Structure 1
Amino acid sequence: MENYGQTKYLGVTRTVKVKNMDEKNIFVTDGFEDIYKMPREYLKENQTVELDEELEVFILNDTDQEVIASAIIPKVQIDRYSWGEVVAVRRDLGVFVNIGLPKDLVVSMDDMPPLKQIWPKKGDRLLLAMRVDDKNRLWGVLATEEVIKTIIKKAGEELKNTNISGTIYRLIRAGSFLLTDDNHLAYIHETERDIEPRLGEHVEGRVIAVRPDGTLNMSLRKRAHEAIGEDAGMIEAYLIRMDGEMPYTDKSSPDDIRSKFGISKAQFKRALGQLMKARKITQEEGWTKIVAMPALVDTEETVTSEDIDA
């Protein structure tokens, strides 16, 4: 197969002119010795070109590793960082990221965490640029700490105890680093989370401290009143499953409560109090009863292949 173009320009943009074209491809030149093939699928939507027209193109490899040109210019390039969305994961190769081109960019498994359960999943996003390996192949490269420092903004004290969200960009044994949606740098210590977030996962939490350097300490744990609400929902769901009553009240033993619901007696009593205040339950003669059972509606669902997680 003929190889159009020089690999030294992989991952960057070039100014070219249209030299020739056929039904499938457009052939462009930089005015010197380099001619690049541009498959028509790499034109912008509804874009048409004319002979001798000057174009700005991006140079990349196609799936056969042939050097081609693209009129679609991605934000992710050599030494140019931007966000890309994860579209697929192959444990034996790496993570495929959509950067706006017909061909996805792969971040090598060598750049992924050692534990595969904290690899990115489809829908997560990564901050990345491109690199060229010694076989002239383009790969995605994750933003380093030095790159992150050029992006972040200092946070003010007014953010303390506020809710924030952002994307996990770095994982270490003791915790996770996050870039907030407003480009603040936050750190989540392992004690401030119930499960370890994935690389590239978008999470929500609260600011527990603003450090002197303008970075944030963040917690993914719920506030006390939010946890109480969650416990109340669990107990209400249990009551519904048990036809509206259960032999557990605020007089039950701590061991029985812990064994059945996995929470402390204090948490249990707070949750019951919330349900009683909402007039959802009553207690009588050692039983807790739901005031009104929700109406049950018979539904028939059709499961298609799209509903099955392959």
Structure 2
Amino acid sequence: MKGIKLGEMNTMKVVKEVDFGMYLDGGDEGEILLPTRYVPEGCKPGDTLDVFVYLDQDERPVATTLTPKAMVGEFAYLEVAWTNQFGAFLDWGLMKDLFCPFREQKMKMVRGNSYIVHIHLDKESYRIMASAKVERYLSEETPDYRHGQEVDLLVWQKTDLGFKVIIDNKYGGLVYKDQIFKYIHTGDRMKGYIGTVRPDGKIDVTLQPTGKKLSREFSDALLDYLKENNGYCNLGDKSNAEDVYDRFQVSKKTFKKAIGDLYKRHIITLEEGGMGIVLVEK
């Protein structure tokens, strides 16, 4: 579709108003309808709008000012709205549901269940479709990430090693289970940090900043906590790791490093038995 990006946001000019909406200038594709329900209040010919373009029930290009849950080229966690003899139809936030044919399903999709899918243009029909065969759409290029770099994650699936994730909507990665200190689920979106990019292109990811940066950041956070809690914390370097995580969302190792840092700087003292921290009055 030359001039129009199907399945993406487009900036388009309003050409004329009709009883059932506005027509937008689609360039080589001609005029594209923006139905009345999506026309912004006060909109008039000559205005420019940012719209999402997809195909209506009759496979004709149509515009909407709604933003779908994902666009062409993106991965998303979508719920099955209904199924028929041809495949499943996923709720992606628009009037027309997103089709996932049987050939693009790893297992038969069930109404009410949600799945990680990739959204693409089918080369044969030029329809927007979803595919649960996620691996095929992940980049095989070796990424130019640096250790500790912050990235966006979509949690993909649980494995014996931990959780597979999709990094920056492009690469596959893995968060090892011994690096996970909170409950995460398929479909969660969160920030992550690059651990290692292996020679084969596989990427290890953590859910917390790595190394010295995390230690410095948490030292400051722990100091703020003490100041806000009358100079006392009833957790120390002998406390249970789960109690530490429940309170501060960091590992026991990171917690102990922060205690050591503050102690060396003579900012805190430790209770006997290592079960508490006291802020030194200055």
Mark the structure with the bigger radius of gyration.
1
